[in-house]
Amino acid sequence: MNYLGKEAPETFNNKTVFVRVDFDVSFNEKGEIVDDFRIKRCFPTIDYLISKKAKVVLGTKLGNPKKDNGFSCERLLSCLSNISHLQFVKDYSGEEAQKAISDLKDGEVLLLENLRLFPEEWGDEAFAQKFSSNFDFYVNEAFAMCHDSDTSVALLPKYLTSYAGFNLQKEVEVLSTVLKNPQRPLILIVGGAKIESKLPIITSFLDKADKIIIGGKLAQSQEAQKFANNPKVFLATCDSSGFDISQGSVGEILSNLSNLSKEGGKGTIVWAGPVGKFEEKEHENGTKMVAQALANSSAYKIAGGGDTITAINKFGLATKFDFLSTGGGAMLQFINGKILLGLKVLE
């Protein structure tokens, strides 16, 4: 794997570089970005390439068009105002994008339209090969996407000299430690609503983790009940509203974390997914209590995923964690030893 920052000094000078970034953020009812954590993690790589006088083309997904909530990347421009000479084109696979790319000058940046609004992004090998002719280099700065098979993640790098961006490098470095030699006991806290993707991961973690705590909609799913009699697993129950975990479950989780502290503070805690609808104040208690308990723990603490990080930032606890990963599912798969297509193709 090639690492950005390790290349020869003039490598990117006057060269066109495609950077697969992760600007996949959420918006509130007013259309405002809820949390720009992922966007900010990409800035060092973008700034570095600009300083090297590269012509920088940014590609990201925004929402999920297959679920009718895919957004135009035009909504991101206000959050990217600190990027000098930034341009935007409402295209990805057509002539308009190709012309905008070819017209770029050294040090300029072009943001393409939401990649997932175009069918070519859904694993189109022929398009990847054709599209690669617009570029000299490829940089991956989208760790959270590395477990997906999108064209811009898993196929495009095959046809270009490719690099891992600065944040991607850090993600791999930190999470590799948890994968290879985690401090014991290893506690996994999994929440959120992505039942189909997270349940298989939980199953494969049963022989690796010392304790698995499941909350959120995940814990209430019929599929999760197969873990009910496993002594390693705690399934949180919901309160009367159905949008947060019960006080009893909060107490049980805090007890598990407290016992870890009594053992000398050693251990590793990995958290992916809020345990309730924390966005609403009346349903934030469970997630807030878990976040505060983790923040106060002397164990090695990692949290990942968009909603999880948004919750941590909401409660002002970001500095209390040892590492915050941009990926939730990607983080879990990586520390579980699974092959991530977006990383494999960079090797």
Token pair recorded at residue 5: 């920052």
> Per residue in 164-217, pLDDT tens?
999 999 999 999 999 999 999 999 999 988 888 888 999 999 999 999 999 999
Which stretch of DSSP H or E encloses residue 17? strand 16-21
For the segment 18-24, the average pLDDT, to the nearest whole number, is: 98
Supply the Cα-derived Rg of the chain in whole angstroms. 21
User: Residue 199: what pLDDT?
Assistant: 87
Number of neighbours of residue 255 by Cβ within 10 angstroms: 12
How far is it, in rounded angstroms, from Cα 285 to Cα 275? 9
The candidate with the shortest Cα–Cα distance to 141, out of 176, 108, 111, 165, is 165
Q: What is the mean pLDDT of residues 3-10?
A: 97
Sign of the four-CA dihedral 210, 211, 217, 219: positive
Domains of the chain are: 16-171 (3.40.50.1260), 182-335 (3.40.50.1260)
pLDDT in tens, 94-133: 999 999 999 999 999 999 999 999 999 999 999 999 999 9
Q: Across the beta sheet with 161-164, what order do the strands follow?
A: 86-89, 109-112, 55-59, 16-21, 137-141, 161-164
Asked if 241 and 286 touch (Cβ cutoff 8 Å), the reply is no
Band the pLDDT of 262: cuts 50, 70, 90: low
CB neighbour burial string for 91-118, b if at least 16 within 10 angstroms, e if fewer: bbbeeebbebbeebebbbbbbbbbbbbb
- Asked if the model's pLDDT at residue 33 lies above 80, the reply is yes
Per-residue confidence band for 67, with pLDDT thresholds at 50, 70 and 90: low
| pLDDT, position 319 | 98
pLDDT of residue 69: 64
Model pLDDT, residue 193: 81
Percent pLDDT > 90 in the chain is 88
- Residue 100 is predicted with a pLDDT of 99
Mean pLDDT of the chain: 95
Span between the terminal Cα atoms of the chain, in Å: 4
pLDDT for residue 274 is more than 80: yes
Q: What is the mean pLDDT of residues 6-12?
A: 97
Strand partners, 17: 56, 137
pLDDT of residue 65: 81
Mean pLDDT value across residues 48-70: 90
DSSP codes, 69-132:
----GGGGGGGGTTSTTEEEES-SSSHHHHHHHHT--TT-EEEEP-GGGSGGGTT-HHHHHHHG
- The whole-number pLDDT of residue 43 equals 98
Average pLDDT, integer, range 60-85: 88
The answer for residues whose C-beta is within 8 angstroms of residue 256's C-beta and 6 or more apart is 187, 211, 213, 234
- pTM more than 0.85: yes
With 0-12 CB in 10 A as exposed, 13-18 as middle and 19+ as buried, what is 51?
Answer: exposed
pLDDT confidence of 266, banded at 50, 70, 90?
Answer: confident
Peptide bond before residue 185 is cis, with ω within 30 degrees of 0: yes
Residue 145 CB neighbour total at 10 angstroms: 27
